[in-house]
Amino acid sequence: MAFTNKPTAQLTYVLVDNSGSRSTVVFHVPFATLAAVALAAADTLMAALGALSDCSVVSRSLTYTQVDNAPVAAAAGSRIEEKGVFVFNLANGLKTRFEVPGVKDSILLQSGTIDRANILVAAFVTAVTDVGTIFAGVDGSDITSLDSAYQRFRGSTVNMLPSDRRAI
Partner 1 sequence: MLVTRNLQWRLTARDASLDSGLMRGTFKPGTSVEDGLSALTDLRGALSAISDCVFVRQSVTIAQSQQPKEPPSGATRASQVGAFFFAGELPDRFGLARVPGIPATYTVDSDCGAGIVIEASDPTVAALIDEVTSGIWCNPFGTPLVSFVSAYIREES
Q: H/E element holding 10?
A: strand 8-16
- Least distance to partner 1 from the beta carbon of 28, Å? 5
CB atoms within 10 A of CB 88: 23
> Residue 163 carries which side chain, given as an amino acid letter?
S
> What is the spatial distance between Cα 94 and Cα 137, in angstroms, rounded to a whole number?
8
Residue 124, φ and ψ in degrees, nearest 5: -65, -45
> What is the spatial distance between Cα 104 and Cα 43, in angstroms, rounded to a whole number?
45
Closer CB to partner 1, 72 or 167, in the complex: 72
- Least distance to partner 1 from the beta carbon of 73, Å? 7
Closer CB to partner 1, 21 or 110, in the complex: 21
Closer CB to partner 1, 26 or 167, in the complex: 26
Question: How many whole angstroms from its chain centre is CA 64?
Answer: 12
Closer CB to partner 1, 29 or 146, in the complex: 29
Please check whether residue 124 is in contact with residue 85, taking contact to mean a CB–CB distance below 8 angstroms: no
- Least distance to partner 1 from the beta carbon of 132, Å? 10
- Least distance to partner 1 from the beta carbon of 89, Å? 15
